[in-house]
Structure 1
């Protein structure tokens, strides 16, 4: 069997760290356990990452990169409302398809806030910067005069709605309820955009589609 390139091995170890953190939390993500998950010798992990903190820094960078990729992939190059809706749906569907990644993000953000560095803020700041840039480009391309404060507010709304959906999904893991919750979440975004951007490109979800009791069942 040929020797695995260092860059590929590092990527495997980072991916393994995400899986272990999702399953066992940060405290359970020892270097030995991560190496085992990656089917790599412990010595290889220490060769690729001089310390656990260095590995976790790479994990945070990976998380930030995933956010950028998801947002970029769901940029539909439409007007502001259409683009914002597509971005929110894209992130939500990504969380549904990658529950381990979502669980790892919650663990990492909580852990990162207790450390001296600003890794958790870095993830959010990079995601917000990417989201804001996409929305600004959509406004320019569509010839929509949207002021920077409104773009900032829309960036915050999309981020907050996706985070809230993700936490609910991680708690209840009910696919049927999640499908209704997607419509409800998008409806909240539609209502905000109707008030601040004018008519949206897609109709808001009807509140009658799901009662609060059903949504958290």
Structure 2
């Protein structure tokens, strides 16, 4: 087996875990099956992750990073604020459409963590990460377009996290793509109304 830096090996095992859990479910995925998916020995797995909690936290962070990367690229400044915000939502939604199993896995991870004694903190960490992610994206948008918010950043971030979480689950269940686009248009208008250009004097 070729030697690999530990950080790269952790990423390899995390992505293997995402594939295995998406296919087989969280409860039925074992450390042995993840090692097999990654093509490494079980000892390598245990060297990289000291516990199942550590693995699941890495999985949650990796799935979030997958779509954050495309959203960050999408919210580059466009002619209008509305176009910029809408492009960010569309990039997220395109990721949901391309990777529905991965997004379905996030809900399974939440339920699994809440039902397993000692794992509850992972569910909290998962939703804190969603809010932190939106705070980061809002910060990028404010800096790039010199914007001022009409609500506190943490409030807007939590609203966006709750909104996209609920909408994603709804579409995974109902599968109505046309309705989703209309809802995203409404949400875009609402968010754009909560953000405006910074006054000339910066106050």
CA distance in structure 1 between the aligned counterparts of 2:4 and 2:144, rounded to whole angstroms: 45
Distance 1:145 1:45, change over 3 A: closer
1:183 aligns with 2:181: yes
Structure 1: segments with no counterpart, 5+ residues: 199-217
Once the 2 structures are TM-superposed, how far is the Cα of residue 33 of structure 1 from its aligned partner? 1.5
Contact 2:150 2:195 in 1 (8 A): no
CA distance in structure 2 between the aligned counterparts of 1:57 and 1:127, rounded to whole angstroms: 13
Once the 2 structures are TM-superposed, how far is the Cα of residue 86 of structure 1 from its aligned partner? 2.3
Partner of 1:205: none
Once the 2 structures are TM-superposed, how far is the Cα of residue 30 of structure 1 from its aligned partner? 0.9
Contact 1:18 1:59 in 2 (8 A): yes
Partner of 1:159: 161
CA distance in structure 2 between the aligned counterparts of 1:44 and 1:137, rounded to whole angstroms: 38
Distance 1:156 1:39, change over 3 A: same
Runs of 4 or more, structure 1, over 6 Å off, are none
Partner of 1:13: 13
Equivalent residue runs for 1:4-153 within 5 Å: 4-78=4-78, 80-114=81-115, 115-116=117-118, 117-139=120-142, 141-149=144-152, 151-153=153-155
Once the 2 structures are TM-superposed, how far is the Cα of residue 49 of structure 1 from its aligned partner? 1.9
Report the TM-score when normalising by structure 2: 0.76
Distance 1:8 1:140, change over 3 A: closer
2:163 is paired with a residue whose SS is helix
CA distance in structure 2 between the aligned counterparts of 1:19 and 1:124, rounded to whole angstroms: 21
Distance 1:185 1:159, change over 3 A: farther
Once the 2 structures are TM-superposed, how far is the Cα of residue 31 of structure 1 from its aligned partner? 0.9
Partner of 1:201: none
Once the 2 structures are TM-superposed, how far is the Cα of residue 157 of structure 1 from its aligned partner? 4.1
Matched residues, number: 193
CA distance in structure 1 between the aligned counterparts of 2:141 and 2:195, rounded to whole angstroms: 13
Structure 2: segments with no counterpart, 5+ residues: 197-203
Contact 2:67 2:95 in 1 (8 A): no
Distance 1:153 1:89, change over 3 A: farther
Q: Root-mean-square deviation (CA), in Å?
A: 2.9
Report the TM-score when normalising by structure 1: 0.72
